Homo-oligomer: A and B are copies of this chain.
Amino acid sequence: MERTFSQAIGQVKTSAVRDILKLTQSSDVLSFAGGLPAEDAFPVEPIRAAYDRVLARGANMLQYGVTEGVLLLREWLAEFLRGKRIETSADRLLLTTGSQQGIDLIFRVMLDPGDRVLVERPTYLAALQALTLSRAEAVEVDSDEAGMRLDDLEAKLTRYRPKIVYVTPTFSNPAGKLWSLERRKGLVELARKHGALLIEDDPYGDIRFDEKLQVTSLYELDAACEGGDGSTGNVLHLGSFSKTVSPALRTGFAAGPGDVIRTMAKAKQASDLHSSSIDQMALFELMTGWDWRTHQRRISTMYRERMEGLTSLWKGTPWEELRWNQPMGGMFVWVMLPENMVASELLKIAVQEGVAFVPGDVFYAGEPARNAMRINFTHTPPTLVPEATARLARALQRYPQ
């Protein structure tokens, strides 16, 4: 049968990341491409015990649940977030299938066809995909190491009157960036002034390489603006346990103003009724029955060591031509190749050499930088990093001058 799909899905680019992931899963390619946590960071036994405790609670664990998600987990989560100075409550939290679903739902409930959304340059690929699926248009704001440039942000808020500004201010994907406090404050104020809802996507914030590093969330800054408990706030904070516990549980959350959360729940009801309540209960049993802080410290240390181990090999030829900043958390290093190199061309040579990364051009809503690459440092086992790095060096040297 000949079939005409919707215009929206026709415009969604499939994720090069996931296509490459598929390729590398079935070959000898060493991969810096995926955004995968390390498997040896997963607390397998505690999770196994958690599921066991959930099912021991009996048959009502297996019944339909409410769209908002398991109440016990939302109550625990409100306390957990309070510890991060995010003041919320169970009824202003929505549990989602990963934080990705939070992105998709907020776009679906806010955006009409042709609406504009301001995003960083570069930004998270799958947010761009969800945005396209909502028939909206992404507009890039000039960004540097400290975040969006506030002059360009204000100009574009005025010009495009966007309903939403979407950012990943803490250890971003792909750029591994940490926004400065000044830019955070400026963004929060400008978003309020121009009536744009601010989406703070924060899946990486708990992977912090310096324990003493203080990060102030947009949610907290916004709550200070209105002097309250966030109930009339202007920030939707999206989080996830995929990077710090396990992605397979697919448990993320949205914390935000009551009206936004209720409206997202309405959309979620139509899209999947609710996410797995067994997984939510298991996360509740896990988090209330072990030492999360120790686990968080362990994986942060593990990932910092992996990042340092990897970048310490990037010395001498051909690495001196490349530029990068060591990230202070998260899972990615963003590497700029010489201006004349095209990362997607380099990838073809790299795959021949047996190593993969993600070319940076897929992370731009506007004119892409073609000479950037995203390197994941969490997943490749340290024993394989020297070989993977040597392969990448050979690819760089083989790149036609």
Render A245-280 as a binary contact track against B, CB cut-off 8 A, 1 for contact.
011111000000101100100110111111111110
Which residues from chain B contact A197 at a C-beta distance below 8 Å?
A: 1, 3
Q: Does A271 lie within 8 Å of B130, measured CB to CB? A: yes
Q: Does B59 lie within 8 Å of A48, measured CB to CB? A: no
Which residues from chain B contact A22 at a C-beta distance below 8 Å?
A: 66
Which residues from chain B contact A276 at a C-beta distance below 8 Å?
A: 97, 248-250, 275-276, 279
Known: A6-B109, A250-B276. 11 other contacts (CB 8 A): A5-B110, A6-B111, A7-B112, A12-B270, A36-B63, A39-B63, A51-B51, A61-B248, A63-B248, A97-B97, A278-B279
Q: Which of B34, B44, B130, B259 contacts A58 (CB 8 A)?
A: B44
Which residues from chain B contact A348 at a C-beta distance below 8 Å?
A: none
Question: Could you say which of A3, A14, A56, A277 has the most chain B C-beta atoms within 10 Å of its C-beta?
Answer: A3
CB of A168 within 8 Å of the partner chain: no
Q: Which of B2, B63, B250, B266 contacts A14 (CB 8 A)?
A: B266
CB of A52 within 8 Å of the partner chain: yes
Chain A residues in contact with chain B, CB under 8 A?
1-9, 12, 14-15, 18, 22, 34-37, 39-40, 42, 44, 47-48, 51-52, 55-56, 58-67, 96-98, 100-101, 104, 108-113, 126, 129-130, 132-133, 163, 192, 195, 197, 232-234, 242, 246-250, 257, 259-260, 263, 266-267, 269-279
CA distance A11 to B281 in the complex (A): 33
Shortest distance in angstroms between A235's beta carbon and chain B's nearest beta carbon? 10
Q: Does B108 lie within 8 Å of A133, measured CB to CB? A: yes
In the assembled complex, 25 residue pairs joining A and B whose CB atoms fall closer than 8 Å, in A order, are: A5-B109, A9-B109, A9-B266, A12-B267, A15-B269, A18-B66, A18-B67, A35-B64, A44-B55, A48-B51, A48-B55, A63-B246, A97-B97, A97-B273, A97-B275, A100-B270, A100-B272, A104-B270, A130-B270, A130-B271, A133-B270, A246-B278, A248-B276, A250-B277, A279-B279
The verdict on A101 contacting B271 (CB below 8 Å), with A3-B197, A63-B248, A248-B278 known, is yes
Which residues from chain B contact A111 at a C-beta distance below 8 Å?
A: 6
Shortest distance in angstroms between A121's beta carbon and chain B's nearest beta carbon? 20
Q: Taking CB as reference atom, which chain B residue is nearest A63?
A: B39
Shortest distance in angstroms between A24's beta carbon and chain B's nearest beta carbon? 13
CA distance A273 to B64 in the complex (A): 22
CA distance A356 to B126 in the complex (A): 43
Q: Taking CB as reference atom, which chain B residue is nearest A191?
A: B1
The verdict on A97 contacting B272 (CB below 8 Å), with A108-B6, A133-B108 known, is yes
Shortest distance in angstroms between A333's beta carbon and chain B's nearest beta carbon? 20
Q: Does B62 lie within 8 Å of A47, measured CB to CB? A: yes
Shortest distance in angstroms between A127's beta carbon and chain B's nearest beta carbon? 9
Which residues from chain B contact A130 at a C-beta distance below 8 Å?
A: 270-271
CA distance A44 to B51 in the complex (A): 12
Q: Does A51 lie within 8 Å of B55, measured CB to CB? A: yes
Shortest distance in angstroms between A244's beta carbon and chain B's nearest beta carbon? 12
Q: Does B248 lie within 8 Å of A272, measured CB to CB? A: no
Q: Does A259 lie within 8 Å of B3, measured CB to CB? A: yes
Shortest distance in angstroms between A39's beta carbon and chain B's nearest beta carbon? 4
Q: Does A263 lie within 8 Å of B9, measured CB to CB? A: yes
Which residues from chain B contact A60 at a C-beta distance below 8 Å?
A: 39
Q: Taking CB as reference atom, which chain B residue is nearest A39?
A: B59
Q: Does A273 lie within 8 Å of B126, measured CB to CB? A: yes
Question: Could you say which of A22, A113, A250, A272 has the most chain B C-beta atoms within 10 Å of its C-beta?
Answer: A272
CA distance A394 to B343 in the complex (A): 75
Shortest distance in angstroms between A323's beta carbon and chain B's nearest beta carbon? 29
CA distance A280 to B387 in the complex (A): 35
